[in-house]
Structure 1
Amino acid sequence: MILVTGGLGMIGAHTARALLDLGQEVVVTAYRRTDVPSFLAGRVTVESLDVTDRDAFLALGDRHDITDIVHLAGSIPGDDPVGFFRTDMAGLLNALDAARAWGVRRCAVASSLGVYIGQTESPWHEDLALPTADLPLLIIAFKKAVEPLTTHSLQGSGVQPVVLRIGTIWGPLYDPESPFFYVPRYVSAMLRGEQPPPLNADDGGDCCYAPDAGRAIALLMTTETLRHNTYNVSSGRPFSNREVVDALQASTPGFQLDLKPGGQSDPYMDISRLSDDTGFSPTFDMASAIRDYVAWRSHNPR
């Protein structure tokens, strides 16, 4: 059985679904979120857990035969940076402690494409040096620290660490009002019959549709042999706003969205290592992702 912490969040839920589709038994933990997505209903075991509670975390091993861990649970920073780091560090250390205590095969931990900030070479790949740079968000600072903490904590334990450098993920269950990726907001506006502001045609960069990201993580947990401990998780190809607008207009006849000329593509992540080791390739391009997401949002608030 594979444990997915934060398994009712966007990435966690899609990871759980992909694992189930691969024939795995899955237990997910949830703390504040209690609604089980329709695509997991009746298929997954849900445990209410505050991952910062070490005793409660370790007690999961008394109730379930857990063979692998995907640690995706995390909090949202507020006004207290030390409190944020303390909370998420406690959850991370408890997951690593459980991995060692239970003798699992693999323990995967979420990092971020933000660790590459300051690296000018593109596309970003796992062998690039991670430069010292000003980081814009507390979450990115924590994710950058997660990587050595994970690999060193599991060294010599027989548990393989898997660091997941997760890209810009969006799709069903994404908060449509989030400022971090705008396509869900534009879909919301489109469904309300509103006209969102125009986009620069050539702006773009890294993104991956959530079902693809979940499948990538599931393959990293189930592939027999992994040759590395760190993997980029994304689509491996950049998108442009021109693609977004074309897809939005194709999905909803009559909807028009203007494009402004210019813009530039941000760096994106190379997934050659992921593909070579697991056989992963994305199922969704931008057009098919938007069609799927519009259909989902027609019946779901997020």
Structure 2
Amino acid sequence: MAVMVTGGAGYIGSHAVLALLDAGQEVVVVDNLVTGFDWAVDDRATLVECDIADEGRVRAAIRGYDVDAIMHFAGSVVVPESVTDPLKYYRNNTAASRSLIESAVTEGVRHFIFSSTAATYGTPEKVPVAENDPTVPINPYGMSKLMTEAMLRDVAAAHPINYCALRYFNVAGADPEGRSGQSTAGATHLIKVAVEAATGRRSHVSIFGTDFDTRDGTGVRDYIHVSDLAAAHVAALDLLRADPGSSHTLNCGYGRGFSVAEVLDAVDRVTNMTIERKLEGRRAGDPAELVADNSAILAALPWRPERDDLEGIVRDALAWERKLAERDR
């Protein structure tokens, strides 16, 4: 049996591939390489270059590699872009996911893990936010993911497939062994942007919004190390396989938040330099504060955070950024 990882040549997907391979799983990656990189796929995995909406090729891969589980990371992820180009997000995240889910059902895949997001909550009524709190997305990115969650719920009620939707908070860092990291040009994730500035790839870091109702006026987020997140996916797969009648929706975060200013202070400490900051207006679709209530995932899975140190996350991200710089020379 193999695990199909869609978007496995991208940031989070490539780390999930590493975690699966390290756990002894057979892995087939499906990626169209629009934003991913073939060199990011570990040599122990098989890469099938195609779009997840290409049902013929996806179904052939499911049959050919005896896939019993899918981890679905493929999609578009930039919140401000989703506001200016919503149809792209409903095509790439919702319509394409529908095609993938249909391929899974048709070919008898029994387990499905979905890369969802805390953006499904919109502006939460309380913080930290729990899985049963209202889901009222304030941007098309969050809505496109919530729609896919709804599809999975309905499909699991009608077919012999179970699922786990993992709602990510802010993912950061890189594989501590230096095997993968965030490599996409023009990334918008704060820690990625900050370490790019620290290595001279950007001139400054923009702070979007200084008038939020937070302790210092900048947005507060729950930052989770990408390797911890990948480990949560492996634990979720074990749960689905052990209990085929169960499905789950779980927050993936540490349960504590850091403001933009606090994160940049941490980057300054790690790099022993002062990164230039430029104050900008708020971006469309950004809530003031998003922090996970992670009690459900701690109860459902044997998973426990191992890298929940902000400066450690920054150090791993910085090490990867320096490795990328060497690669580009």
Task: Give the TM-score, by structure 1 length.
Answer: 0.85
* 2:187 pairs with one of 153, 178, 195: 178
Question: 1:256 maps to what in 2?
Answer: 274
Contact 1:240 1:265 survives alignment (8 Å): no
Residue identity matched to 1:178: A
My pick for the range that moved more, 107-116 or 169-178, is 169-178
Structure 2 counterparts to residues 13-28 of structure 1, below 5 A: 13-28=14-29
Contact 1:167 1:232 survives alignment (8 Å): yes
Shift of 1:197: 5.6
Question: 2:30 maps to what in 1?
Answer: 29
Query: What are the superposed Cα offsets for residues 39-64 of structure 1, whole Å, 9 maximum, x if unpaired?
Result: x4322111111111111111112310
Query: Alignment RMSD, CA only?
Result: 2.9
Contact 2:32 2:49 survives alignment (8 Å): yes
Question: 1:48 maps to what in 2?
Answer: 49
* 1:236 pairs with one of 232, 255, 266: 255
Question: 2:176 maps to what in 1?
Answer: none
Residue identity matched to 1:291: R
Residue identity matched to 2:164: V
Residue identity matched to 1:249: D
Residue identity matched to 1:289: I
Residue identity matched to 1:215: A
Matched, 1:156 2:179: no
- State the alpha-carbon separation in 2 of the partners of residues 43 and 198 from structure 1: 39
- State the alpha-carbon separation in 1 of the partners of residues 185 and 92 from structure 2: 26
Matched, 1:206 2:211: no
Question: 1:280 maps to what in 2?
Answer: 303
Query: What are the superposed Cα offsets for residues 20-44 of structure 1, whole Å, 9 maximum, x if unpaired?
Result: 122211111110234222xx43221
Query: What are the superposed Cα offsets for residues 121-159 of structure 1, whole Å, 9 maximum, x if unpaired?
Result: 11111111224x6x23x2222112111111102213221
Distance 1:158 1:74, change over 3 A: same
- State the alpha-carbon separation in 2 of the partners of residues 121 and 31 from structure 1: 38
- State the alpha-carbon separation in 2 of the partners of residues 148 and 192 from structure 1: 43
Question: Structure 1, unaligned stretches of length 5 or more?
Answer: none
Shift of 1:83: 5.5
Residue identity matched to 1:256: T
Matched, 1:299 2:323: yes
Contact 1:169 1:209 survives alignment (8 Å): yes
Residue identity matched to 1:159: I
Question: 1:220 maps to what in 2?
Answer: 236
- State the alpha-carbon separation in 2 of the partners of residues 245 and 30 from structure 1: 33
Report the secondary structure of 1:212's partner residue.
helix
Shift of 1:66: 0.5
Count of matched residue positions in the alignment of Structure 1 and Structure 2: 292
- State the alpha-carbon separation in 2 of the partners of residues 141 and 54 from structure 1: 24
- State the alpha-carbon separation in 2 of the partners of residues 126 and 282 from structure 1: 19
Contact 1:18 1:215 survives alignment (8 Å): yes
Query: What are the superposed Cα offsets for residues 144-195 of structure 1, whole Å, 9 maximum, x if unpaired?
Result: 211111110221322112122122212321546333x322222111112977
Distance 1:31 1:266, change over 3 A: same
Report the secondary structure of 2:39's partner residue.
coil
Distance 1:245 1:73, change over 3 A: closer
Report the secondary structure of 1:124's partner residue.
coil
Structure 2 counterparts to residues 76-225 of structure 1, below 5 A: 81-82=86-87, 84-131=89-136, 135-136=138-139, 138-171=140-173, 172-173=181-182, 175=184, 177-179=186-188, 181-192=189-200, 196=204, 202=216, 203=218, 204-223=220-239, 224-225=242-243
My pick for the range that moved more, 222-231 or 53-62, is 222-231
Shift of 1:13: 0.8
Aligned residues: percent identity?
A: 25
Task: Give the TM-score, by structure 2 length.
Answer: 0.78
Report the secondary structure of 2:112's partner residue.
strand
